[in-house]
Structures are given as structure tokens and as C-alpha cells.
Amino acid sequence: MSTESVESRGGRIRLVVSYDGADFHGFARQKGLRTVQGVLEDTLSNLLGTFIEVHGSGRTDKGVHARAQVVHFDLPYGPPADRIVHVLSRRLPNDIIPISASQVDSTFHARFSVVRKTYRYHIFRGNLPDVFKYRFSWHVPEALDIAAMRRAGAHLVGEHDFTSFCAAAAPQEDKVRTIYELRIEESGEDLYLYCAGSGFLQYMVRIITGTLVDVGLGGMSAERLPDILAAKSREAAGRTAPAHGLCLWNVEYPIVYGGRVLDL
């Protein structure tokens, strides 16, 4: 075992990582499949010589990326927090990048302490696909009515039952969630949809994005959104946007736990 693995008494560590989700089968460990949690746990366990369980702020689906995924784990011993990024950056694969690490109180939980999450969906509107963007954006070359998309999105802000905007097989019984902000920004041929909320259901942001794109293409009226919410049926909403355009953009905790993880 490396001497760097026994330089501190351990404790609870909060780690922020970014990853390219294209070659992962999502965040959560799955037997026989490459996942972010699995790679993190295997790397830490090999480093320490004992199994280290990693807890994430939430699950991302297969192909979804993260700018700021937060995880925590308990170390019986190991490198001090200010060296963990350096240690892990030498051991993790190139598609997982450790950003920061800190020692936290044992009451902190990467998932249950969250007060706000922000996802960003990237739509590329160029006439032709871009080889440097195809892994991280949805190519929609048709003209989009951005004003109509914004009107539609405004109906989703607030507390609602989002049954119509999640996978039909989503395991959660309670489908009520709160969206604090839904904004659309334009930058040349790029369109960015930011969705911040208390928590999200399976495929929720992707279905919201797909539905807003349907509105933007003229296939659905912006004024239908309240009726879609009221229907509480996945069939009432629009398409599911591809996974590769979605990124977990930021996570926010109470100030006592550090507040917002990264600047927006």
C-alpha cells in the first residue's frame, strides 16, 4: 500500500467531480457495467486496501454528463483532504476529473443535504453537425421559436406534480417537485436550457427539454403546458431529448455545508 494512503486519520470527505458520461452506463453502480460510482469506488478501494462506499448527490442516466457531481465517502485513513484531488487525478480515467475535496462533518450527506440542483441542456442549431459538439449537445438544425419555448417553460416553474414529465416506470411514488428557475439562453448557434429545482425525477429534464423543442418547432402550443401537467400522464408530454445533451451543472447545499459547489 502506498505511504500516501496512511497520512491522515480519514473522516468524511466531500469530493466534486466532472465527467464525460458518454462511455458510462450512468452514475449508479451496476454489476458488469462501467459506471461513475463503480469507477470511483474501485479506485478508492484499491488505494486504501479496503472497500470504500461512495454516495452521490444524485443519479445521472447513461450518457449524461456532469460539470459538478458531488459525492461523499468515509475514509478509515488516507491522504488528507487537500491532497485527495492530486492523488485521484493520477488514478482516475481521463473521463472523470476530480475538481475539489474537503473534509466535512459526519452529518453531511451528498444527496440528502442538497437544497438545489441545476441541470443544463445544450442544443446545437447549426445547419450541419459539429464534430466537436456531438458528444455534448443535441443537434436541432430546424428553426426554433425561442419566445414560445420560454412561454411554455414559464408554466413549469413552481411546485407541480411532474408525472407527465418523467419516465412511466419511475420508481418514486411522490412525483411532486419544485422548479425554481427555467431559463433559455442563446449564444450564436448554441442554445442552453438551465433548469434548477429541489430535485428531479427520472428523465424529467430531458422530457421537459423535448417538450419545449416540440413547442419551438410548432408541433405543440405553449399554452398546452398546464393541461399536460394536469394530465399526469407521460403520453401527454412531448419527446424525450437525447441523454448526451444533458449535464448536471451545479449542486447547492446549506451555507453550513458550503453553499453552491461551483459558480454558475
Q: What residues are labeled active site?
A: 61
Cα–Cα nearest to 237, from 220, 216, 255: 220
d(CA 48, CA 14): 17
CA 111 to chain centre: 12
DSSP string, 67-81: EEEEEEEEESSBS-H
Cell of 54: 461512495
Cell of 141: 438544425
Cα–Cα nearest to 172, from 201, 144, 150: 201
User: Which value, to the nearest 10 degrees, does the dihedral of the CA atoms of residues 162, 165, 171, 176 take?
Assistant: -10
Q: Is residue 119 marked as binding? A: yes
Cell of 95: 473521463
Grouping H, G, I as helix, E, B as strand and the rest as coil, residue 186 is strand
Helix (H) or strand (E) holding 85: helix 81-89
CA 203 to chain centre: 11
Q: At what angle do helices 204-216 and 146-154 cross, to 10 degrees?
A: 140
Helix (H) or strand (E) holding 209: helix 204-216
Cell of 186: 442563446
- Extract the annotated binding site for substrate: 119
**Residues contributing to the annotated binding site:** 119
